[in-house]
Structure 1
Amino acid sequence: MNILFNWFEKRVDPFPQDTPQQPPDRLLAFCLHYTQGIWRWLILISILTSLIAVLQVVIFGFLGEVVDWLATANRETFFQDEFWSLFWMGAVVLVFLPALGALNIMLLHQTIFGNFPMRIRWRAHRYMLGQSYGFYQDEFAGRVATKVMQTALGVRETVAKIIDVFVYVVVYFGGALILVGSLDMALMLPFIGWVCFYIALLAYFLPKMRHISELQSNARSTMTGRIVDSYTNILTVKLFAHSSGEQDYAKASMNEFLNTVHPQMRLASKLNMSLDIANAFLLFSVGAVGLLSWQAGNATVGTIAVGVGLVMRLEGLSHWFMWELAGLFENIGMAEDGMKMLSKPVVVNDKANAKALTVTGGAIDFDKIKFNYGKDGGVIEELSLSVAPGEKIGLVGRSGAGKSTLMNVLLRLYDIEGGEVRIDGQNIADVSQESLREQIGVVTQDTSLLHRSIRDNIAYGRPDASEEDIIQAAKRANAHDYILDLVDLQGRTGYDAHVGERGVKLSGGQRQRIAIARVFVKNAPILVLDEATSALDSEVESAIQESLNALMEGKTVIAIAHRLSTIASLDRLVVLDQGAVIEEGSHEYLSTANGLYSQLWARQSGGFLGLDDLGLDDDVEAE
């Protein structure tokens, strides 16, 4: 049996390797986009569903014939006279119907239900990984994850219910009408009236339920995002004793969600009560018309039995179908809500003919670049700066001067509005983003680690790094000794210990040293240090300074620091202010040039800028 299950489970690949494309922003096209590759199985399911519905209606018709036979048949010769009719109907009941049902179930449960949503998640996740950096600055991580998970189920249920449930009910209802009409046209009239009333109920209630479901899906995503945000920032919550505030913050979104649930349940109650009334009238009408037709000699006992039997069957089927349709619109709401996020275009894209970046020397040229984060006022206006191969420069300036912005455009986290950024003469807009970032090692001030082992985090710089490479990198970053003492809650130790979400189990200095070890392993020809040692105390900073110097050897380096003593020995210092280069030269020259740098240097205490110099009133987004 497991071999059979396995065969059906392998019919659909849950992890296709095609290049992720932007999904359409219209619901039908959106669902069709994510249904690629499984249509043949869905069509087969709809054919099987239709056959099952037809056979079930045929069985009802046959039961009516059996009733008529029993009323007039000779008991002694009954089985002999009707043997082949009974044999074939027995085959339908015992063989064909179960076989078709088993095949339909296998395709639904083994081929579709597991693989289909996973296929959607896989394709959506790959597309979201390619989303621009700016996209994630505007969204909750928990909200994005919820959309990916919800949308996968929403699309699956929407497609599956239409293909399986809708086809079954339409064929069954149609077959029932044809069967009753073939037996007695008068008996068909109550069924036609019931079907018209049923369609009117659907037309009135379901659009309202669809609207409520869409609101509910969005409210659910917001609620989940707020809760995840609290958990992600749990240290901040505790440090500011803000648990009650977070409760109120989450409660507000829970109330918004609940305010969509109550109207939904009211609609469901009204719908079901209306349906109960319709079913009661149908049963009464079919019974009355059937008895009158029998009395007039137009209907047999078997006809009445078929009519009443179909009413009882349709009563249960109508409630089931109504709930399935309500669920369908709920899932349509989830799919539409997710579509609004998942179909957003990627702002930073590779060109169709993008080549891999080739770094020969590591020369960097910012040529009259312009960038403003989409705002009216420019953060950088026609800035030009050249860095020679192997040169090590430091960027200096108040917060908001454009230092980190320069790094963002170098890494092409954003596309510039004008000018060019070139590496060894190659415009970075013409090369693939992956190849660009493979050639640049980065250590930032705000270091986030993956909730994986220490080994995995260090090897993130180069996945094929050997164990020896990883340990050597940790030693050069002055991290090896404390790594050996780590133990996590599952008892994993040393390099196998997990660091917690965003590395919360480690101190800031420990996280920073892991980040530095990661860049050691990567060994890229261009190095960016954005406050790389800001989280380290003076003793640790001094201990790894030699390692950083070794890391910079033979590389083109751009370093940002407020603690000027950490970059004073670099080849050249570049002073930025309001997105423009206003000074450049060696530390010795700039410290005596009576410019901004000399003012900053003079006002430092222990090599760190005073609060006034940090420009806290400036636009933080520029950094």
Structure 2
Amino acid sequence: MMMDGFLKRFENVLDPFEDKGEARDHARVNRIGHLEPLPGDANAFIWHFAKQAKWPLIGLLITGGLTGLIEAVMFTGVGWLVDAMENSDPATFLADNVWLITALLFVTLIGRALVLFAASVLEEQMIAPSFFNRIRWQSYRRIIEQSYTFFQNDFAGRLAQKVQQAGQATGDFVTTILQTFWSFITFVVLTISILGAIDWRMSVVLAVWSLGYVWMIRNLLPQIRTLGRERANANSVWTGRVVDSFTNILSVKLFDSTRAEDAFVKEGFSRYVEAVRRLCRALTTIRTAIAVLNGLMMTGIGWVAIVGWQSGSVSSGGVAAALGLVLRLNQMSGWMMFNINGLVRNYGTIQDAVATISPVPTLTDRPDARPLEVVRGEVAFRDVTFHYGKGGGIIDNFSLTIRPGEKVGLVGRSGAGKTTLVNLLLRLYDVEKGSITIDGQNIADVTQASLRGAIGVVTQDTALLHRSIRENIAYGRSDADDDLIFDAARRANASGFIPGLRDPKGNSGYAATVGERGIKLSGGQRQRIAIARVLLKDAPILLLDEATSALDSEVEAAIQENLNVMMEGKTVIAIAHRLSTIASLDRLIVLDEGRIVEEGRHDELIRRGGLYAQLWERQSGGFLGDGERNAAE
């Protein structure tokens, strides 16, 4: 316990959650994209983080050098002892060599232990927990600030893998360089110097060996670096595919009767296995080359030592020291080549991870962005054009003004642009032309956090966080107490089923976890939790994208009154497949191919006999044509 308490003192030397990217401008902390991007070059990426742990890493450099020094001294000391034994009377050996024996005992028992203890504290207490995690934390923060499109174009599992790999590979790379590699270099230099002092020919043999070792590193390891990067990428691909399968397990169970999912995942595994095999073939080649080179080195040193002993130029202690040093060098060189292989693989992993982590977010707050101030709640689209980068189609020169407190419904066939307009208002995408304003403030000029904080959203595809019911309801208002949370659940007609929930860990009711994306709950239960979350957030603007689509008619009727209360005094934009749920709104906007083709109240639009009337007739009659099956998507 005493040792445990002592070691804890070193664990807070580095803050695992410090982020230098925001230190220069604390006023921008609440802005999306306020963090400085991480370097896009692997070398710059490594140096960026190494500077953040300067003193512990310098300490690791010192202990690494001392470790190599102690190794060389201990093997050389064997030679000194042999010579001392040859030149001393056994009866007076200890008295005649007291200083030599004391020095060797100090190095072996105390000096070596102190150096290894210091190195262990630096690596295990300061660097491994905090430095590694700081890299992961800063990498996570850069990825989480990427645009919505960024996440649509990649696997969540693959992105998580990149965050993990970045921390592990960068940390391993730096610590191996400063501790293992530097210790080896120190040992090699000292060994060449010591053997040169014994017989100059030995230093020549070692110099030639060193050149061969460097040649192999320079000519054979680049291939391993490339193969290591390919292995890292293949690893993240199969991980992403497995996570995608597990995340969408219901679809897999319901539709994958031909086991196509197995084939898809297996193909990812196959790519990984092939990448590992290529890497392992290269490793076998380089390990064989090292074995041959080391064999030649040991034979050469041994021959010079024996010839020198025969001629009297090398003492018995010199032979013992030389053979001990080269045998240790043989062991260390094979071990070091393994570590160099690891360095190269880690470098390739870093290169691969940096390509994902370092890109600058495409959708960020402007440098002078200010918080949105919602006083009235007017929403205006002015000549908005947006095509998802397709060059045409979705929305062209769209204009619409929603008055403060007005309840507006968006209606139209699938692909009419309704959800796109909602996404643009939330600034999940930037408009290509035109502007969107709230109370006269261009949403491109305000912080994204304040914009989305002023809007409550219930979507058709409700995904909950794998956390407790309480945390999910309070997600948009973290300061809410239990009374507010319980009241929101009651108004969303969710308080009836929540007490009966249980999770595998024994938690129940509001403490029960809901599973990834809320998979443990029914669609209607998830929807009611999402509605409770919006009720609790109490934002001045509401976006309801099929807010009650997953509810049966009885439950929908039970919460409709509370939804009406929730909408009082707020600006509301609602999308609905079931037109009856929005028929009572102040105004209905009928869209077709990104344009407004009709607008007015429900009864007005019915009398006109246009697109809305057709949709209403088909839906109220219980039938929807193929082209008009969905009234709001």
Shorter-chain TM-score bucket reads: over 0.9
Please tell me whether residue 150 in structure 1 is matched to residue 165 in structure 2. Answer: yes
Unaligned ranges ≥5, structure 2: 23-34
How far is 1:353 from its partner?
2.1
**What secondary structure, in the 3-state scheme, does the structure 2 residue paired with 1:365 have?**
strand
Please tell me whether residue 455 in structure 1 is matched to residue 470 in structure 2. Answer: yes
From 4, 8, 15, the equivalent of 1:2 is 4
**What secondary structure, in the 3-state scheme, does the structure 2 residue paired with 1:58 have?**
helix
How far is 1:609 from its partner?
4.9
Assess if the C-alpha contact under 8 Å between 2:139 and 2:166 holds in 1.
no
How far is 1:614 from its partner?
4.0
From 249, 258, 266, the equivalent of 1:234 is 249
2:444 counterpart residue number:
429
Distance 2:317 2:246 in 1: 66
Assess if the C-alpha contact under 8 Å between 1:584 and 1:590 holds in 2.
yes
How far is 1:208 from its partner?
1.3
2:332 counterpart residue number:
317
Distance 2:58 2:378 in 1: 57
Assess if the C-alpha contact under 8 Å between 1:565 and 1:607 holds in 2.
no
1:511 counterpart residue number:
526
How far is 1:437 from its partner?
0.5
From 54, 58, 61, the equivalent of 2:76 is 61
From 59, 63, 71, the equivalent of 1:48 is 63
How far is 1:176 from its partner?
0.8
How far is 1:605 from its partner?
3.2
How far is 1:223 from its partner?
0.7
Please tell me whether residue 545 in structure 1 is matched to residue 547 in structure 2. Answer: no
Distance 2:448 2:380 in 1: 17
Distance 2:449 2:334 in 1: 53
How far is 1:606 from its partner?
5.5
Please tell me whether residue 445 in structure 1 is matched to residue 447 in structure 2. Answer: no
1:125 counterpart residue number:
140
Assess if the C-alpha contact under 8 Å between 1:562 and 1:609 holds in 2.
no
Q: TM-score, normalised on structure 2?
A: 0.94
1:352 counterpart residue number:
367
How far is 1:555 from its partner?
0.3
Assess if the C-alpha contact under 8 Å between 2:19 and 2:134 holds in 1.
no
How far is 1:601 from its partner?
2.0
**What secondary structure, in the 3-state scheme, does the structure 2 residue paired with 1:576 have?**
strand
Please tell me whether residue 491 in structure 1 is matched to residue 513 in structure 2. Answer: no
Distance 2:413 2:256 in 1: 32
Distance 2:423 2:57 in 1: 46
2:192 counterpart residue number:
177
How far is 1:612 from its partner?
1.8
Please tell me whether residue 160 in structure 1 is matched to residue 175 in structure 2. Answer: yes
Q: Which letter does structure 2 place at the counterpart of 1:5?
A: L
Structure 1 residues 558-581: Cα deviation after superposition (integer angstroms, max 9, x where no partner): 011122111111111111221122
Please tell me whether residue 12 in structure 1 is matched to residue 27 in structure 2. Answer: no
How far is 1:81 from its partner?
3.4
Q: How many aligned positions are there?
A: 618
How far is 1:610 from its partner?
4.0
Distance 1:476 1:595 in 2: 37
Distance 2:535 2:57 in 1: 51
Distance 1:487 1:100 in 2: 53
Paired-residue identity, %: 45
Please tell me whether residue 281 in structure 1 is matched to residue 296 in structure 2. Answer: yes
Structure 1 residues 316-368: Cα deviation after superposition (integer angstroms, max 9, x where no partner): 10111011111111211221111111112211101122211111111111111
Distance 1:36 1:21 in 2: 16
Please tell me whether residue 86 in structure 1 is matched to residue 101 in structure 2. Answer: yes
Kindly report which structure 2 residues correspond to 1:531-542, keeping only aligned pairs within 5 A, or say none. Answer: 531-542=546-557
Q: TM-score, normalised on structure 1?
A: 0.96
Cα gap change, 1:97 to 1:578, in 2 (>3 Å): same
**What secondary structure, in the 3-state scheme, does the structure 2 residue paired with 1:603 have?**
helix
User: Which range moves more in the overlay, 354-363 or 188-197?
Assistant: 188-197
Q: Which letter does structure 2 place at the counterpart of 1:548?
A: L
1:413 counterpart residue number:
428
2:544 counterpart residue number:
529
How far is 1:36 from its partner?
4.2
Distance 2:506 2:322 in 1: 68
From 237, 245, 254, the equivalent of 2:269 is 254
Distance 1:609 1:4 in 2: 73
Q: Which letter does structure 1 place at the counterpart of 2:61?
A: S
How far is 1:378 from its partner?
4.4
2:31 counterpart residue number:
none
How far is 1:296 from its partner?
2.6
User: Which range moves more in the overlay, 182-191 or 439-448?
Assistant: 182-191
Unaligned ranges ≥5, structure 1: none
Structure 1 residues 503-538: Cα deviation after superposition (integer angstroms, max 9, x where no partner): 111111111111001100000000000011111111
Please tell me whether residue 295 in structure 1 is matched to residue 297 in structure 2. Answer: no
Cα gap change, 1:43 to 1:243, in 2 (>3 Å): farther
**What secondary structure, in the 3-state scheme, does the structure 2 residue paired with 1:559 have?**
strand
Distance 2:601 2:211 in 1: 86
Q: Which letter does structure 2 place at the counterpart of 1:321?
A: M
Assess if the C-alpha contact under 8 Å between 1:529 and 1:560 holds in 2.
yes
Assess if the C-alpha contact under 8 Å between 2:229 and 2:345 holds in 1.
yes
How far is 1:594 from its partner?
3.3
**What secondary structure, in the 3-state scheme, does the structure 2 residue paired with 1:360 have?**
coil
Distance 1:34 1:17 in 2: 10
Q: Which letter does structure 1 place at the counterpart of 2:277?
A: H
